[in-house]
């Protein structure tokens, strides 16, 4: 029994030394409030999805059964317009697939951007450019249409602490993306 306790103590000491030594603690002090909770939500989704990191890092809603694709698109575009976020592209991929003789149902990708916020984000961290523009994907699954977009809480809370003004602007985009899901789900304007 003493040997097990000694082993546990050595293991914990080793882990703490590694964490402190590799800068993890320093990085953790540079995160926004709610980072731990967001991390655990993503972790739980990752485990439930059996390791599907894309699933773990997305927000997703099932579209109400009586809502058509056009209603979802109109609702999402209305939210963008009201939030001063530009629709910078739509990819009706299922239509392209049909033209190639492949019919698997709806696959529609919409892209949105607030250019001023985008510029400030890449000035803050050039790697953020990899997340631009914000995307909304409408995908037909066995049980109907679903809408997906990146979990922006992951970027906002788990990333390096944003300056207050940039955080404020980013939260406006975050709220718009969340509202796109909610309004798209019901087809509401």
Same domain, 67 and 19: no
Tell me how many domains the chain contains.
2
Task: Please write the tens of the pLDDT for every residue from 31-89.
Answer: 767 778 888 888 898 899 898 999 999 999 999 999 999 999 999 999 999 999 999 99
Q: Give the model's pLDDT for residue 158.
A: 82
Same domain, 73 and 155: yes
Task: Please write the tens of the pLDDT for every residue from 96-105.
Answer: 999 999 988 9
Same domain, 20 and 75: no
Same domain, 15 and 64: no
Q: Is the peptide bond before 149 cis (omega within 30 degrees of 0)?
A: no
* 3-state class percentages of the chain: helix first, strand second, coil last, to nearest 5: 60, 20, 25
Same domain, 147 and 78: yes
Kindly state the average pLDDT of the residues 108-121.
96
Chain length of the chain: 189
Scored b (16 or more CB within 10 A) or e, 69-104 reads bebbbebbbbbbeebebebeeeebebeeeeeeeeee
Could you tell me which of 78, 80, 108, 112 has the C-alpha nearest to residue 95?
108
Same domain, 15 and 65: no
Does residue 51 lie within any of the structural domains? Answer: no
Q: Give the model's pLDDT for residue 38.
A: 83
Per the structure, the complete domain to which residue 95 belongs is given by 59-186
Could you tell me which of 51, 47, 75, 50 has the C-alpha nearest to residue 61?
75
Q: Indicate if the pLDDT at residue 15 is higher than 80.
A: no
pTM of structure: 0.81
Q: Indicate if the pLDDT at residue 115 is higher than 70.
A: yes
Task: Please write the tens of the pLDDT for every residue from 130-167.
Answer: 999 999 999 999 999 999 999 999 888 887 888 999 99
pLDDT band at 10 (very low <50, low <70, confident <90, very high): low
Same domain, 83 and 132: yes
Q: What's the CATH number where 111 sits?
A: 3.30.310.70
Q: Give the model's pLDDT for residue 160.
A: 81
Same domain, 169 and 90: yes
Same domain, 72 and 120: yes
Same domain, 20 and 74: no
Same domain, 95 and 173: yes
């Amino acid at each position: 029994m003493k040997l097990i306790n000694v082993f546990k103590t050595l293991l914990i000491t080793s882990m703490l030394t590694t964490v402190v030594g590799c800068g993890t603690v320093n990085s953790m002090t540079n995160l926004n409030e709610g980072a731990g909770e967001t991390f655990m939500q993503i972790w739980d989704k990752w485990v439930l999805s059996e390791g599907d990191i894309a699933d773990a890092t997305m927000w997703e809603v099932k579209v109400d059964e009586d809502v058509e694709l056009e209603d979802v698109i109109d609702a999402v575009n209305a939210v963008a317009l009201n939030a001063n976020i530009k629709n910078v592209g739509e990819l009706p991929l299922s239509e392209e697939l049909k033209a190639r003789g492949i019919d698997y149902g709806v696959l529609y990708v919409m892209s949105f951007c607030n250019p001023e916020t985008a510029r400030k984000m890449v000035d803050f961290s050039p790697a953020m450019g990899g997340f631009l523009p914000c995307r909304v994907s409408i995908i037909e699954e066995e049980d109907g249409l679903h809408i997906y977009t990146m979990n922006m809480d992951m970027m906002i809370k788990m990333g390096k602490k944003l300056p207050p003004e940039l955080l404020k602007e980013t939260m406006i985009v975050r709220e718009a993306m969340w509202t796109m899901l909610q309004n798209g789900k019901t087809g509401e304007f």
